[in-house]
Homo-oligomer: A and B are copies of this chain.
Amino acid sequence: MSESKAPGSMSDLEIALKATLRPIEEIAAEAGIPPEALELYGRFKAKIDPAKLTPRPGKAPGKVVLVSAMSPTPAGEGKSTTTVGLADSLARAGHKVMIALREPSLGPVLGMKGGATGGGYSQVLPMDEINLHFTGDFHAITAANNALMALVDNHIFQGNELGIDPRRMTFKRVMDMNDRSLREVVIGLGGPVQGVPRQDGFDITVASEIMAVFCLARNLADLRERLGRITFGYRYDRSPVTVADLGIQGALALLLKDAIKPNLVQTIAGTPALVHGGPFANIAHGCNSLIATETARQLADIVVTEAGFGADLGAEKFMDIKARIGDVAPSAVVVVATIRALKMHGGVPREQLTEPNAEALAAGVENLRRHLHNVEKFGITPVVAINRFGSDSAAELDWLLDWCAREGVQAAVADVWGRGGGGDGGDELAAKVAAAVASPSSFRHLYPLELSVEGKIRTIAQEIYGADGVEFSVPAQRRLADIRRNGWAGLPVCMAKTQYSFTDDATVLGAPKGFTIHVRDLIPKTGAGFIVALTGAVMTMPGLPKEPAAMRMDVDADGNAVGLF
């Protein structure tokens, strides 16, 4: 996060380590979680068993506030920070609130990415532990994924009764690591006793379909079912072969039986947060587990959650994938905007984003306008959160507030990074969001499931991105036929597109018109229950930079993290 300003030179980690944490039992008790539903992981983390919660007497499930964003700059616009700060401000205003957030992935933490736990005075804690192993959920998902592939390759080695074609495997092993060297590998070398050689590769754990399944399951039994439906490859006769065909969905569910319980932590201000699951936002749907969101609804009146990337991707998938499976339709959508991002979309090069530029602002706001209109297409009134950066001038902020007022959109400047939602940094935003939550909304999905996969993709491209049309590559057309033949056409679509543009070209900023979306391939994720549409190269195993963050990391003699952001 680059909002760095108010707290002088203190890093996120320094702010986090200075915060006084309360015992997680206290946070749980205030949140209405009975002790028998709580499984402690150290002093400040706990898992919650949703089966041991009882509905609050006389209370409806909480309303969902989805935090999304305009098309972001590469540095990100501060969605997690806004999510945390907004929740803190809502709590400060007396609302019973709970946060639902994604868990960070370890690989990028060792590379260069900031944490995914918010920033400044709007963080979930203990940020060092959440950013490292946390409660081991991602390790359990890694183990389940790799157990599946070990069992598949063993099946082939032991005689291949199912007739699995080793050249048509669609599932890979994973590691929660940025490890470029594992992108393309050959395995099973060494002769007849070491396996059957085949071309393969590793993805990062968050790209595993098991992560997506984990985040869309309603409970353990549903998780087991969905694991069984995963297609990991094809037989020599081209028919799909699933985990249930191997009969190991029970073993995989067993490996996930504790991980599937949501993790409770607290913000710097003491607001309860469920941090659980974290699928990729391109080849998956990019939001925390459905179980966490539904559990939070059981416990609080307002649940603040986020979805990855901009609203064209994260919010659309939240509405059309997650909110079809679970009862989590948002009552309000917050669209995070920054002066920096508006200027970038107005054509300003990255190194000049801190300089005032009224024309660029006016041009770039068209990107925000399209996202706001998109939110309305789902029947929800958006609220703009202007995430304040140190370089923003009062004139720029006022201009944007005026623009929103002219457009009839609720908006507020939020300084939750510098002042914290526990301070007064998000009071105005919280008031506007609370009003939006209280006013009626009429949620609807963008498309019906009965529409063909092609039709679903065209609808998203035209209605949300503003494209003229969609072009399907020859392989994609062939895959569409496979999808129909295999009976998967009723699944929703998960678009894998760059987050930087409404188009499939990351360099086309603003609110472009007259463009075509190119679908180069389709990947059926039958366990997660969606069809991924690839509109460009998607990196599913990141690499490390020349100076990885790991070089700065250390631990002091008392066991405290050093150099973690």
Are the CB atoms of B564 and A254 closer together than 8 Å? yes
- Chain A 549-565, CB-CB to B under 8 Å as 1, else 0, gives 01101110111011110
* Structural contact, B184 and A110, CB atoms closer than 8 A: no
Instruction: Say yes or no: A178 contacts B150, CB within 8 Å.
Output: yes
B195 touches A180 (CB 8 A): yes
A196 is an interface residue with CB less than 8 A from chain B = yes
- For the complex, is A323 an interface residue (Cβ under 8 Å from B)? no
Cβ of A41 within 8 Å of any chain B Cβ, yes or no, is yes
What is the predominant secondary structure among interface residues of chain A facing chain B?
Answer: mixed
Complex partner residue of A221 from B146, B176, B557, CB under 8 angstroms: B557
* A304 CB to nearest B CB, Å: 28
Query: Is B554 a contact of A143 with CB atoms below 8 Å?
Result: no
Counting CB contacts under 8 A, is A224 at the interface? yes
Q: Bits for A171-187, please: 1 = Cβ < 8 Å to B, else 0.
A: 00101111111111111
Do A186 and B183 have beta carbons less than 8 Å apart?
Answer: no
Asked whether any CB of chain B lies closer than 8 Å to the CB of A544, the reply is: yes
A76 adjacent to chain B (CB < 8 Å): no
From B153, B251, B254, B543, contact of A181 by CB (8 A): B153
- A195, B221: Cβ atoms closer than 8 Å: no
Please name all residues of chain B whose beta carbon is closer than 8 Å to the beta carbon of A173 when the two chains form the complex: 175, 182
- Does A253 sit at the interface, judged by CB under 8 A? yes
Q: Which residue of B lies closest to A148 (CB)?
A: B550
| Contact call B254/A132, Cβ cutoff below 8 A | yes
Q: Given the known inter-chain contacts A41-B41, A132-B254, A550-B151, please indicate yes or no for A181 contacting B187, CB distance below 8 A.
A: yes
Q: Is the CB of B40 within 8 A of A248?
A: no
Q: Is the CB of B158 within 8 A of A179?
A: no
Structural contact, B188 and A248, CB atoms closer than 8 A: no
A486 to B559: give the CA distance in the assembly, Å: 32
The docked-state distance in angstroms from the alpha carbon of A175 to that of B153 is 15
Q: CB of A189 within 8 A of chain B?
A: yes
Contact A247 B551 (CB under 8 A): yes
Q: Are B133 and A146 in contact (CB under 8 A)?
A: no
Query: Is A244 engaged at the interface, CB distance under 8 Å to the other chain?
Result: no
A151/B553 contact (C-beta < 8 A), A143-B106, A186-B186 known: no
Interface size on A, residues (CB 8 A): 78
What residues on B are CB-neighbors of A254 within 8 Å? 132, 553-555, 561-562, 564
Specify which of A188, A251, A557, A562 lies most central, judged by the most chain B CB atoms within 10 Å of its CB.
Answer: A251
How far does the Cβ of A355 sit from chain B's closest Cβ, in whole Å?
33
* A150 to B41 alpha-carbon distance, docked (Å): 29
Closest to A136 in B: B136
CA distance A28 to B34 in the complex (A): 23
Question: Which of A181, A248, A254, A543 has most chain B Cβ within 10 Å?
Answer: A181
Which chain B residue lies CB-closest to A150?
A: B179
User: Counting chain B CB atoms within 10 Å of each CB, which of A258, A550, A554 scores highest?
Assistant: A550
Indicate if the CB atoms of A133 and B136 lie closer than 8 Å: yes
Q: Tell yes or no: A362 within 8 A of B by CB.
A: no
Docked-complex contact B154 and A543, CB < 8 angstroms: yes
Q: Are B255 and A132 in contact (CB under 8 A)?
A: yes
Q: Are B551 and A177 in contact (CB under 8 A)?
A: no
User: Does B224 lie within 8 Å of A555, measured CB to CB?
Assistant: yes
Chain B residues within 8 Å of A551, by CB: 247-248, 251
Within the complex, which residue of B43, B184, B248, B257 is in contact with A189, where a contact is CB–CB below 8 Å? B184
A451 to chain B, nearest CB (A): 35
- Give the chain B neighbours of A505 by CB distance below 8 A: none
Q: Judging by beta carbons under 8 Å apart, are A179 and B194 in contact?
A: no
Find out whether the CB atom of B133 lies under 8 angstroms from the CB atom of A150: no
- Contact B181–A548 (Cβ < 8 Å): no
Chain A residues numbered 66-120 whose CB sits less than 8 Å from any CB in chain B: 106, 110
Give, as a whole number of angstroms, the nearest-CB distance from A395 to chain B. Answer: 44
Contact A177 B143 (CB under 8 A): yes
Min CB distance, A411 to chain B, in Å? Answer: 41
Nearest to A41 among chain B residues (CB) is: B41
Q: Please indicate the chain B residues that have their CB under 8 angstroms from the CB of A258 in the complex.
A: 42, 129, 133, 559
Interface pair A187/B185, CB less than 8 Å apart: yes
Determine the residue in chain B with the shortest Cβ distance to A559: B257
Q: Is the CB of A42 within 8 A of B40?
A: yes
Contact between B47 and A39, CB atoms less than 8 A apart: no
Is the CB–CB distance between A190 and B179 below 8 Å? no
Q: How far is the CA of A179 from the CA of B106 in the complex (A)?
A: 23
Determine whether the beta carbon of B136 is less than 8 Å from that of A550: no
Q: In the complex, A129→B255 CA distance in Å?
A: 10
Minimal Cβ-Cβ distance residue in B for A179? B150
Q: How far is the CB of A63 from chain B (nearest CB, A)?
A: 29
Are B185 and A186 neighbours in the complex by a CB distance under 8 Å? yes
Bound state CA distance, A313 and B253, in angstroms?
38
Is A431 located at the chain interface by the 8 A CB criterion?
A: no
Residues of chain A having any CB pair with chain B under 8 Å: 39-43, 47, 49, 51, 106, 110, 129, 132-133, 135-136, 139-140, 142-143, 146-147, 149-151, 153-154, 157-159, 173, 175-190, 194-196, 220-221, 224, 247-248, 250-251, 253-255, 257-259, 543-544, 546, 548, 550-551, 553-555, 557-559, 561-564
Can you add 5 more A-B contacts, CB < 8 Å, to A184-B190, A250-B562, A257-B561? A110-B147, A151-B544, A185-B185, A253-B555, A254-B562
Query: Would you list the 7 A-B pairs with minimal beta carbon distance, nearest first?
Result: A250-B554, A139-B139, A184-B190, A136-B136, A181-B195, A251-B550, A40-B40
30 CB-based A-B contacts, threshold 8 Å: A39-B42, A41-B42, A51-B559, A110-B147, A133-B136, A133-B140, A133-B143, A135-B136, A136-B136, A136-B139, A139-B139, A139-B143, A143-B177, A146-B177, A147-B177, A149-B179, A151-B548, A157-B180, A157-B543, A180-B194, A186-B189, A195-B543, A220-B557, A224-B555, A251-B550, A254-B553, A254-B554, A254-B555, A257-B559, A258-B559
